[in-house]
Structure 1
Amino acid sequence: METKPLPKEAVLIVNAHSRRGQDQFEDARAKLEAAGVRLIAAHAVEDPEQMAPTVARAVADGAPMVIVGGGDGSMSGTVDELVGKDVVFGVLPLGTANSFARTLGLPLDLDGAVRAIATGRRRRVDLGMIDRDYFVNAASLGLSPMIGRTVPHKLKRYLGRVGYLIWAVKCSVGFRAFRLTIDDGRRQRRMWSTEVRILNGPYHGGVELSDHANVDSGRIVIQAVVGRSKPRLAWDWYAKFVKLRDRDKNTEEFSGTSFRIDAKPRQRISIDGEVLAMTPATVKIAAGAVEVAVPQDADKATAM
């Protein structure tokens, strides 16, 4: 089915606190306008808490496209303002892992991302939900929220994923497994776990974790690393990072439209890198919630 072309007017909103946001704001503004996107307004936002209000004002003022520059946390923190609105979401991946951009098939370099926004097409995609909070890519409980809550900003900014790895080793010393309960409304499953990933797309932390999570499947995937072994958790990340044949042997996956999850002891929940919730929580899919700008040659087989 033919879709409308992407808008040629937009508001640019960049998280200047993100890893590359401050350095690339001026470049992004110049390259977007050179590519034929007329910027109604452009904002370099120093305080991340002002990202969502700035997006909300742009939507209220009638912007046909809002381009957000930052990491996955910036995307999740602002996407709520776009749900149910006649506005296209443009993504400039300026963060550490850029998992949402990877899921969409967006180039991770600035020139490629600008080209997708200027010459690409619309794609309607799902969002995940933790209670009433929308997220673009993934949420997690276990070791990841501990890392996200405590990792020094400079370590993340200057070392990227390597910085996360260094901090993960430090955090794992005091970490303990938890008793997980997953309820889909028909059946309860209980198991020991060291980490749970709630996936709207296949990537988390820049690593492809699932062959079954898809951003327009209409389903959410819960992936649990089972057992109480911290070395097993480390091996699971390694196996998925290098794509070993038996990379899924330590995980169980559950796919559906809605789940209730709980943990003993209670666990913090990281939503695209920001610790924003705690168990127990309701996990849902919001099918076709927003339109995003993707490259013309993005994998159309997954967009059907």
Structure 2
Amino acid sequence: MPSSPAASPSARSVQLTGAETLFMVMNSGSGRRNCEATQQAIRAACAEAGRQCELIVVDRGADLPGAAARAVRMARQTSGVVVAVGGDGTLNAVCQAVVGQGIPFGVLPQGTFNYFGRTHGISQDTEQAVHELLSARLEYVSLGRVNDRYFLVNASLGLYPRLLEDRELYKQRFGRSRWVALLSALVTLARAHRQLDIQLDHGGRHQRLRTPTLVVCNNPLQLQQIGIDPEPADDRDHLIALASRPVGTGALYLLLLQGMLSRMGEAENVISICFENMTTYLGNRPRWVKVAVDGEILRMRTPLQFSIEQQVLPLLIPRTAEPLEHP
């Protein structure tokens, strides 16, 4: 596995003056609000506070990496801040460019679930989030990593990426809401699914599983909402791998219901693994596999290397926020 660029000395030398220029990367396709109204709210709040901001707006997710790289270059030249405006997928794309560059990272959540922003006490109201961003404090947070890709919330393979693909199709037809997400999940789970034959190597253990999906989570809020409360052996940050034993459609519906009721931890078909580093091998040794990373579907070479990268992202959070403790 490649060494993390966040290990460079500059990653731990970020300082805040409270007067930094904000370079904001915005995905106009994310969120529930009108893009123009969001931009106006951002500019008005920055102008009121006497802070300079530059909005870099893209219309497609594919354009986010280039826009993020541009924002990072400008922030490095001016000792500025890079801010991602959008859902968890947008935040992820911008984060890839920021980690290891010695640049503060801010977020203005605009998506449907906003797990990352909510975990760190960041408001989902744009005006309030901007005002809190302008007086924010700095906190280093840990990121998950799968191969060479960081993730803020989760990474998964098997059934879960299929759920996300179908959910996106339903959102395009019926709009973005949690009810649409639930409807698409019910339809997807009704179909036949192939099982994954996987081997998980972690902490000196070798564990073989047959499961429809594997989800590796880096977000305590998401875990709490589905009712998973693992107890790690020490105070270091960890990742949590979740898998289910081979089950039929009825049992999958039951797992979905238990997750909605925050009781998935009680399900006898759910396997939970707490780890810092894990290698995942797939049966029949396919060279490439489809992986969902914070909602974005990618193809990755196997075996998959999962790890927790300790406190590598200098995140701006509200001064009054009390973030949830990490798994």
Under TM normalisation by the shorter chain, which class is it? 0.7 to 0.9
SS at match of 2:253: helix
TM-superposition CA deviations, 1:117-158 (whole Å, max 9, x none): 122211100111110111111111222201223431644772
Q: 2:5 aligns to what? A: none
Select 2:205's aligned residue among 184, 187, 203: 187
Q: 2:180 aligns to what? A: 163
1:253 pairs with 2:278 = no
Q: How far off is 1:178 after superposition?
A: 2.4
Select 1:281's aligned residue among 275, 282, 304: 304
Select 1:95's aligned residue among 102, 107, 111: 111
SS at match of 2:325: helix
Select 1:38's aligned residue among 51, 54, 60: 51
Measure the CA separation in 1 of the matches of 2:170 and 2:36: 16
Q: 1:152 aligns to what? A: 169
Measure the CA separation in 2 of the matches of 1:227 and 1:245: 16
1:1-304 aligned within 5 A: 5=16, 7-8=18-19, 9-20=21-32, 22-34=35-47, 36=49, 38-61=51-74, 62=76, 63-150=79-166, 151-152=168-169, 154-155=171-172, 158-172=175-189, 173-184=191-202, 186-204=204-222, 207-208=225-226, 210-212=228-230, 217-244=236-263, 247-264=266-283, 268-278=290-300, 279-299=302-322, 302=325
More divergent stretch after superposition (200-209 vs 132-141)? 200-209
Contact 1:12 1:39 in 2 (8 A): no
Q: How far off is 1:23 after superposition?
A: 4.9
Measure the CA separation in 2 of the matches of 1:30 and 1:193: 48
Contact 1:194 1:233 in 2 (8 A): no
AA matched with 2:184? W
Contact 2:186 2:253 in 1 (8 A): no
Q: Which runs of 5+ in 1 are unaligned?
A: none
SS at match of 2:98: coil
Q: How far off is 1:100 after superposition?
A: 1.0
TM-superposition CA deviations, 1:178-234 (whole Å, max 9, x none): 2232111511111222222111112459944533499x9432211112232333333
AA matched with 2:24? L
Change in Cα spacing, 1:291 to 1:152, as seen in structure 2 (3 Å) is same
Q: Larger Rg: 1 or 2?
A: 2
Contact 2:46 2:53 in 1 (8 A): no
More divergent stretch after superposition (158-167 vs 11-20)? 158-167
Q: Which runs of 5+ in 2 are unaligned?
A: 1-13
Measure the CA separation in 1 of the matches of 2:101 and 2:196: 39
Q: How far off is 1:176 after superposition?
A: 2.9
Structure richer in helix, relative to its length: 2
Measure the CA separation in 1 of the matches of 2:128 and 2:227: 24
Change in Cα spacing, 1:227 to 1:175, as seen in structure 2 (3 Å) is closer
Measure the CA separation in 2 of the matches of 1:289 and 1:118: 22
Contact 2:143 2:309 in 1 (8 A): yes
Report percent identity of matched pairs.
Answer: 24
Measure the CA separation in 1 of the matches of 2:224 and 2:276: 24
Measure the CA separation in 2 of the matches of 1:177 and 1:212: 25
* Count of matched residue positions in the alignment of Structure 1 and Structure 2: 300
CA-based RMSD: 2.9
More divergent stretch after superposition (116-125 vs 179-188)? 179-188
Contact 1:20 1:94 in 2 (8 A): yes
Structure richer in strand, relative to its length: 1
AA matched with 1:16? S
Contact 2:264 2:270 in 1 (8 A): no
